[in-house]
Structures are given as structure tokens and as C-alpha cells.
């Protein structure tokens, strides 16, 4: 079932909530998928093999309780957590709200009045490099970078950085 704001699009303001923009990102990357599914499938194999044919070679000395705990954590819990994890970004009249579901129980709020500067920039997440003067590498993504009045820099990833930037600028103009 699709909810109305799951596509990450600019929406019209709702007077009751002041919502300007909402984006829901599924964090399903192939690198993370392989790193989660390989141990999960291996542990599913070990558990099924030990139930049907006895313990496979290599895990003969491992107690059953440890194997069961490993299977539950790496074979069930992490894949479910990976599947359910979503990054939600909302821009409202009074602030920018960010949440990583299910790890954050509530939204983290950045009030609009603390935003000093907002710009779109190429950013490489693994090295933390900003690409101001030179062309970005192929691994760089375009992100929205907020400079706060405290001097801190906040990087917000988005599938639609132009729309997010436009929404933040309209919220800043409206305050």
C-alpha cells in the first residue's frame, strides 16, 4: 500500500502541520545487501544442515546455543533491520526534521532559525570530501549542506537535492 508522501516530492503546504517537503528513502544498497545477506545465508545453511543432517564440518565444536544466537542475530535480526531501515527527511515551516527508522524513535529537529547557509554540493561519503573547485569523482553524490549559526556543518542526503534545497529555502524565507 502506497502512502501519499513516499515518493520524495515537493508537496503543497498543509496548514495544520506546515509540511513543505517529505522524502522517504529506502537504504537498499548492493554493497550493504551483500554484506548482510552473505552471513545470513551462510548461517541459514548451517542451521538447516545441523537440523537435518547434524552439524557440518567446521562447526562441530561450537555449542548449539551459540549457533542459534548467531543465526538469530545475523540470519534474522540484521536482515530484518536492513529491510525496515528508512531515512525520512521532512521540511516544515518551523524546521528540518530527520529520522532514521527504526533506530530513532522520534525526529531530530534542526530549527529553521539556526540555518545560516544552505547549498547543494558534491560530497563523497566514504572520505568526507567536498568538491568545491574540482569536478566530483564518480562515487560522489549531490547532497544538501547546511551551515548552522553555531559553525557546525550538517550534510543531508537526498534523492532530490534540488527539491530539498528549494523547500528549505522557502521555509527560511517564510520565517
Domain residue spans of the chain: 19-27+85-174, 30-84
Model confidence at 32, pLDDT cuts 50, 70, 90, reads confident
Query: Are the C-beta atoms of 20 and 13 separated by less than 8 Å?
Result: yes
Report the SS3 class of residue 86: strand
- Cα–Cα nearest to 7, from 80, 89, 62: 89
Span 139-163, average pLDDT: 86
Report the SS3 class of residue 132: coil
pLDDT at residue 2 in the model: 42
* 8-state DSSP, 89: E
Burial class (CB in 10 A: 0-12, 13-18, 19+), 65: exposed
Predicted TM-score (pTM) of this structure: 0.74
pLDDT at residue 138 in the model: 64
pLDDT reading at 12 higher than 60: no
pLDDT digits (tens, 9 = 90+) for 77-99: 988 888 888 989 999 888 899 99
Answer whether CATH 2.40.50.140 is correct for domain 19-27+85-174.
Answer: no
Alpha helix ranges (H) inside the chain: 30-52, 64-70, 78-84, 161-174
Amino acid at each position: 500500500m502506497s502512502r501519499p508522501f513516499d515518493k520524495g516530492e515537493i508537496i503543497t503546504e498543509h496548514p495544520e502541520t506546515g509540511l513543505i517537503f517529505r522524502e522517504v528513502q529506502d537504504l537498499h544498497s548492493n554493497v550493504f545487501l551483500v554484506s548482510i545477506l552473505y552471513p545470513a545465508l551462510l548461517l541459514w545453511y548451517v542451521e538447516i544442515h545441523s537440523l537435518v543432517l547434524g552439524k557440518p564440518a567446521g562447526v562441530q565444536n561450537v555449542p548449539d546455543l551459540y549457533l542459534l544466537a548467531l543465526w538469530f542475530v545475523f540470519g534474522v535480526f540484521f536482515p530484518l533491520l536492513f529491510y525496515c531501515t528508512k531515512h525520512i527527511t521532512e521540511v516544515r515551516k518551523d524546521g528540518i526534521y530527520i529520522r532514521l527508522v527504526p533506530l530513532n524513535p522520534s525526529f531530530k529537529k534542526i530549527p529553521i532559525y539556526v540555518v545560516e547557509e544552505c547549498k547543494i554540493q558534491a560530497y563523497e561519503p566514504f572520505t568526507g570530501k567536498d568538491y568545491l573547485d574540482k569536478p566530483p569523482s564518480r562515487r560522489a553524490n549531490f547532497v544538501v549542506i547546511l551551515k548552522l549559526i553555531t559553525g557546525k556543518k550538517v550534510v543531508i542526503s537526498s534523492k532530490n537535492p534540488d527539491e530539498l534545497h528549494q523547500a528549505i529555502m522557502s521555509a527560511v524565507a517564510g520565517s
